[in-house]
Amino acid sequence: MYNNPYLSNIYNQQASLDRINEQINQLENLKKQMQQPQQQPTSLTQNFQLAPTTRDVIRYANSMEEVERDMVIGDTPYFSKDMSVVWIKNIKGEIKTYELNEILPKDDKDIKIEYLQAQIEELKKGINKYESNANVNESINESVESKESSNVSSVSKYAKKSK
């Protein structure tokens, strides 16, 4: 029964009919989709900025006049060529000037030297204060002695006259 060519031919015809029917259904679905009205895509609104968006990482200037001439879109630093001065210009055109000093790393020896130098300066100030206090005391003593000597001499004059 399985080797019957007539039956196998019927099964092949049925499989072919099923495939044809499936393709017909797919074509009808496509036809329906084509007949439906297409939706309009939503409109896009684009805004463009006219201001430059890229800024230099660092700007150099030789003088304050160069900084004043330049137009800025935000707080912008300008450095002198030798990196000793920085100007910061804001949108309003106000410019602030700063002096830059290099900070060198210090090792233990440098720290010890600075500490000892500070102590020497304190001792010098202490000596100067001591000397100035001594000078003040001497001048006070001298003025007191001169007043006493003038008083003593005048008392002795009166003492001599009364005798």
Condensed to tens digits (0 to 9), the pLDDT of residues 13-62 reads: 888 889 999 999 999 998 888 887 666 667 777 777 666 655 656 788 99
Q: 85 with 126, same domain?
A: no
Supply the pLDDT for residue 58. 77
Supply the pLDDT for residue 97. 94
Within-domain flag for 161: no
* Residues paired with residue 98 on neighbouring β-strands, in sequence order: 86
Within-domain flag for 89: yes
Residue tagged 């080797």 (tokens): 3
* Pick from 84, 87, 78, 85: nearest CA to 60: 78
Within-domain flag for 94: yes
Mean pLDDT of 75-91: 92
Domain hosting 121: range is 104-153
| Contact between 62 and 81 (Cβ < 8 Å) | yes
**pLDDT per position as a tens digit, 56-74:** 567 889 999 999 998 888 8
User: Exposure of 147 by Cβ count < 10 A (0-12 exposed, 13-18 middle, 19+ buried)?
Assistant: exposed
Q: 95 with 74, same domain?
A: yes
Supply the pLDDT for residue 163. 47
pTM of the model: 0.37
Within-domain flag for 21: yes
Instruction: State the DSSP string of 21-50.
Output: HHHHHHHHHHHHHHHSPPPPPPP-------
> How would residue 10 be classed by pLDDT, with cut points 50, 70 and 90?
confident
Question: Total domain count for the chain?
Answer: 3
Q: 108 with 146, same domain?
A: yes
| Contact between 66 and 78 (Cβ < 8 Å) | yes
| Contact between 76 and 66 (Cβ < 8 Å) | no
Q: 112 with 80, same domain?
A: no
Supply the pLDDT for residue 35. 80
**pLDDT per position as a tens digit, 122-154:** 999 988 888 877 777 676 666 656 655 555 555
**Sheet containing 85-89, strands listed edge to edge, beginning at the edge strand earlier in sequence:** 59-60, 76-79, 85-89, 95-99
Q: 112 with 142, same domain?
A: yes
